[in-house]
């Protein structure tokens, strides 16, 4: 079905944005690995997105929503189905009266942080330097420096697998550590963040501090997918990996960063299998030496 010309023509007729067929995901993931997805589609409105979802459901074709692909590893055999990128949904606005910012799923955090500085709204500073988008960030309940998105989310706009939209308030949502539990097939359309009135200078200073800390602690000169593992309670995964001497371990061009034990970097032409083998190796060694099971934070999709 997915290789049929009629299927492909129909998708192209639904979407005014790009529709890429047999697209190497190594071009899109921040870590620079990934085989071909059958289709990568960029709807430009909620209407287009809704029509894509309905069409895929009618054709029984699997799909996964993606944002900036900064927390994503696609296996080398690629993805059999449609990856729906939300990157073209980019509306953002703020309400000074309620000290809030609404952003579509495709808005990058850098843009929200910049707007919050401009409007003197405090609360989003911890997102400075997180390279993801609102959709991916809310799904991952992204966090840093003691805060997470759940602390600032007010409402999340959703569309379900049957094309029905809904605005969910925070209390209805099941946020967990690095996850928002959503029914299968649900796509985040956008979110409203509730902030507080602050001092522009203070917000700017905190953002600069955070960017500075990231530059000192993270291997930002290499391609990566951020933290590979979730932190177990009361200890950081990076410290455990460092303690058992795994920093610098390599498979092909994939390497456990010498700078931060919870980052695996692609220092050239790493394959997904190199990165996944390093993940498996680290998980096994940590279990054997410390009796701790490290849970994977990055999302791994596709086939070998
Ligand atoms: C250098 C670097 C630093 C990082 N620092 C941090 C950090 O400090 N804290 C942190 O939490 N993360 C960090 N990350 C990881 C990553 O940036 C975040 O998890 C980010 O929020 C993911 O957003 P994304 O748009 O890239 O999502 P993607 O990687 O595109 O997707 C992530 C997951 O969300 C799902 N998803 C994406 N969009 C939607 C949508 N619209 N609806 C439903 N599901 C969706 C995907 O299917 C996938 O399961 C870092 C990554 C890098 C490379």
- Choice from 142, 147, 161, 302 to test ligand 1 binding pocket (greatest atom count within 8 A of CB): 142
Q: Which of 25-34, 68-77, 92-101, 239-248 has the lowest mean pLDDT?
A: 92-101
Residue 255 CB less than 6 A away from ligand 1: no
Phi, psi (deg, nearest 5) at residue 7: -60, -45
Which pLDDT value is given to residue 291?
97
CA 278 to mean position of chain CA atoms: 21
Which pLDDT value is given to residue 96?
81
Nearest C-alpha neighbor of 83 from the set 33, 36, 45: 36
Q: How confident is the model at residue 98 (pLDDT cuts 50, 70, 90)?
A: confident
User: What pLDDT, in 10s, does the model give residues 179-202?
Assistant: 999 999 999 999 999 999 999 999
User: What pLDDT, in 10s, does the model give residues 112-171?
Assistant: 999 999 999 999 999 999 999 999 999 999 999 999 999 999 999 999 988 899 999 999
Within a 10 A sphere around the Cβ of 90, how many other Cβ atoms? Answer: 17
> pTM above 0.85?
yes
* 178 flagged as catalytic: yes
Which pLDDT value is given to residue 42?
98
Nearest-angstrom CA–CA distance, 224 and 109: 18
Q: Which domains does the chain have, with CATH numbers?
A: 5-85 (3.30.43.10), 92-202 (3.30.465.10), 220-301 (3.90.78.10)
Q: How confident is the model at residue 175 (pLDDT cuts 50, 70, 90)?
A: very high
Nearest-angstrom CA–CA distance, 251 and 11: 39
Quick one: which atom of ligand 1 is closest to the CA of 86? 41
Quick one: which atom of ligand 1 is closest to the CA of 220? 1
Residue 72 CB less than 6 A away from ligand 1: yes
Residue 70 CB less than 6 A away from ligand 1: yes
Q: How confident is the model at residue 9 (pLDDT cuts 50, 70, 90)?
A: very high
* 172 flagged as catalytic: no
Which pLDDT value is given to residue 162?
87
Phi, psi (deg, nearest 5) at residue 61: -105, 125
Cα–ligand 1 centroid distance for 68 (angstroms): 7
Residue 37 CB less than 6 A away from ligand 1: no
The number of helices, as runs of H, and strands, as runs of E, in the chain is 7, 21
Strand partners, 64: 83
Q: What is the mean pLDDT of residues 245-251?
A: 98
């Amino acid at each position: 079905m997915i290789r049929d010309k009629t299927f492909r023509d129909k998708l192209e007729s639904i979407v005014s944005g790009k529709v890429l067929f047999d697209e190497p995901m190594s071009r899109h993931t921040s870590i620079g690995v990934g085989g071909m997805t059958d289709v990568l589609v960029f709807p430009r409105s909620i209407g287009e997105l809704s029509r894509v979802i309905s069409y895929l459901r009618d054709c029984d074709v699997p799909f996964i929503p993606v944002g900036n692909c900064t927390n994503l590893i696609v296996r080398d055999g690629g993805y059999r189905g449609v990856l729906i990128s939300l990157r073209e949904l980019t509306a953002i606005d703020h309400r000074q009266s309620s000290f809030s910012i609404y952003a579509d799923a495709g808005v990058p955090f850098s843009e929200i942080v910049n707007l919050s500085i401009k409007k003197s709204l405090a609360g989003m500073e911890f997102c400075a330097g997180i390279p993801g988008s609102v959709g991916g960030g809310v799904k991952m309940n992204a966090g840093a420096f003691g805060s997470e998105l759940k602390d600032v989310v007010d409402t999340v706009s959703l569309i379900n697998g049957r094309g029905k939209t809904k605005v969910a308030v925070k209390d209805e949502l099941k946020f967990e550590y690095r996850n928002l539990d959503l029914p299968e097939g649900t796509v985040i359309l956008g979110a409203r963040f509730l902030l507080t009135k602050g001092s522009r200078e203070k917000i700017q200073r905190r953002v600069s501090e955070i960017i500075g800390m990231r530059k000192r602690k993270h291997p930002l000169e290499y391609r990566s997918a951020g933290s590979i593992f979730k932190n177990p309670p009361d200890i950081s995964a990076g410290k455990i990996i460092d303690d058992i001497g795994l920093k610098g371990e390599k498979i092909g061009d994939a390497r456990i960063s010498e700078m931060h034990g919870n980052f695996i970097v692609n220092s050239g032409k790493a394959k997904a299998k190199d990165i996944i083998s390093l993940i498996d190796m680290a998980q096994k060694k940590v279990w054997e030496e410390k009796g701790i099971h490290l849970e994977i934070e990055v999302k791994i999709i596709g086939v070998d």
